[in-house]
Amino acid sequence: MSAPHLPKVAGIDPEVPVSTQTAAPLREIPAAPGAFIQDRLAGWVSDLTTLHELTERLASTATLDAALNELLHAGAALVGARRGLLVLERAGTTTPSTTLGLGLGPADLGHLETVERSATALGRVLDGPPDAADARDGIATPDLLGDQDLDPRHREVATRLGYAASYALPLASEAAGRLGGAVWFYDEPGEPSEKQRHLVGLYARYATEHLARLTELERARADIATVAEELLPSRLPCIPGVRLAARHRTGPQGGGDWYDALPLPDHALGLAVGSVGGSGPSAMAAMGRLRASLRAYAVMEGEDPVAVLSDLELLLRLTEPARTATALFAYCEPAARKVVLAGAGHTPPLVLGDRRCEYVETTLSAPLGMLACWEAPSVEFSPAPGETVLLYTDGLLRRTGDAMDRAFARLHSAAASVPKADRHDPAAVTDHVLRAMLPDGLDRSDSTEDVVVLAAHFD
């Protein structure tokens, strides 16, 4: 016979034994198991945020030099270093290597170059096999001066420059290959942590892809600039009684602005500027055809600028009906100080001298290709001895960012401000006008506008 169950009281089972020990009071609340995970997650989020900010800054760079500087600074911040050195050299190309220092002057770079390349971590990163572990993970030298096998010259240079440790990393990725390497220097013995190595490795691989794109872009821009220069006069002619100067800048995509100066029979001179609509190789090719055609028409009937532009209009309309262009042609007789010009939708020349600075009043006309037949009356004027005639394309005006009326006023003010001592030098006049119009410089990389300025000074 089984024993009867005792009744339950308030849900307590009397069969459960009750401890006779009194539990100690709880003085500390143990950390929740998720706190450690939360700390790790917070650290990862912080690291990813830092990496995102640095890559965003790198992606905003538009030139190779700016990207290299940004890479050096960001890498130093990620590995905790103060100074660094970067070498960019792509295998299989004839492009000379680029060396850039952070916190290192020209003399410091010269000292580093005296160390045998194979004796440095950067040299081993640059010259080692692409699939070696060093090529992936980098080379840390935590105590240079304590390394008994260190090259004596390297020890001497490290002592002179005051660095005691280094970390070298290749600039490589699967798509771009190896573009170069970077090394950061520590003032005291040490090396980056595993987390720092991981972050700078991720950043370096992204930077390599960005550098590869910028390298290809700059190579393409250089090729475009070379082609554009070949399509323009290689030198300006020497004609008694007149001196010439020209400045030209082609946009990064290649444009259609051009100029020309050619000797004509009877010691005359033909001056021309123009612009073809559009940009890129197509516009550059059209510009070359237009300039060559104008030279031919100028030799045959240059004394009549209206006939030259009429022939050019007919040619453009028949051969490239979808193309528009502007042009201005001036027939100059320096001995007689006589200039006859005609323009097709082009900006008027500016005459600068000791007694005047004014635009030449030209008849309004449509650009080439806009009408079934183009013809506008020519304009004749006589530059006084010592005066300079300035021809230019509208890219000079658009580069200012002002409205056209304000840009014309700005150009007039720039020409009027040329010092008297420089007014007899066409090159000095051109440079002064460009500095006044474009304070950031003619070669500003973020501008897409072509610029042409041609100056003729009459003695």
pLDDT (tens digit per residue) in 200-226: 999 999 999 999 999 888 887 777 777
CA angle 366, 304, 339 (to 5 degrees): 90
Tally Cβ neighbours within 10 Å of residue 373.
Answer: 8
Q: What is the pLDDT of residues 371-413, one digit of tens each?
A: 656 667 889 999 999 999 999 999 899 888 899 999 999 999 9
Is the pLDDT at 67 greater than 60? The verdict is yes
- The pLDDT score that the predictor gives to residue 28 is 58
- The pLDDT score that the predictor gives to residue 173 is 86
Say which range, 19-28, 121-130, 146-155, 419-428, has the weakest mean pLDDT. Answer: 19-28
Confidence label for 132 from pLDDT (cuts 50, 70 and 90): low
Distance CA 357, CA 227 (A): 35
What does residue 162 show for φ and ψ, rounded to 5 degrees? 80, 35
- The pLDDT score that the predictor gives to residue 445 is 52
- The pLDDT score that the predictor gives to residue 447 is 64
Q: What is the pLDDT of residues 306-341, one digit of tens each?
A: 999 989 988 888 888 888 899 999 999 999 999 999
- Global pTM reads 0.65
- The pLDDT score that the predictor gives to residue 204 is 93
- The pLDDT score that the predictor gives to residue 439 is 83
Say which range, 9-18, 288-297, 399-408, has the weakest mean pLDDT. Answer: 9-18
Please state the domain extents for the chain: 62-224, 232-458
Say which range, 40-49, 282-291, 326-335, 412-421, has the weakest mean pLDDT. Answer: 40-49
Q: Which of 331, 326, 362 is nearest to 346 (CA)?
A: 326
- The pLDDT score that the predictor gives to residue 371 is 64
Is the pLDDT at 134 greater than 80? The verdict is no
Q: Which tops the pLDDT comparison, 46 or 71? A: 71
Structural fold of domain 232-458 = Phosphatase 2c; domain 1 (3.60.40)
- Helix (H), strand (E) at residue 380: strand 379-381
Q: Name the token pair of 411.
A: 């150009």
Is the pLDDT at 253 greater than 80? The verdict is no
Helix residue spans in 231-350 (DSSP H): 281-301, 305-319
Is the pLDDT at 458 greater than 80? The verdict is yes
How far is CA 345 from each of CA 237, 247, 286, 325, 394, rounded to the nearest angstrom? 26, 21, 17, 8, 10
Q: Are 293 and 312 in contact (CB under 8 A)?
A: yes
Q: Which of 138, 145, 149 is nearest to 172 (CA)?
A: 138
Q: Name the token pair of 138.
A: 């980098």
* Overall CATH class of domain 62-224: alpha beta
Q: Mean pLDDT for the chain?
A: 85
Region of residue 278 (left: phi > 0; alpha: psi -120 to 50; beta: else): left
Q: Are 212 and 149 in contact (CB under 8 A)?
A: no
Residue range 277-287: average pLDDT?
A: 81
Q: Are 171 and 157 in contact (CB under 8 A)?
A: no
Query: Per mean pLDDT, which of 41-55, 124-138, 182-196, 433-447 is the most reliable?
Result: 182-196
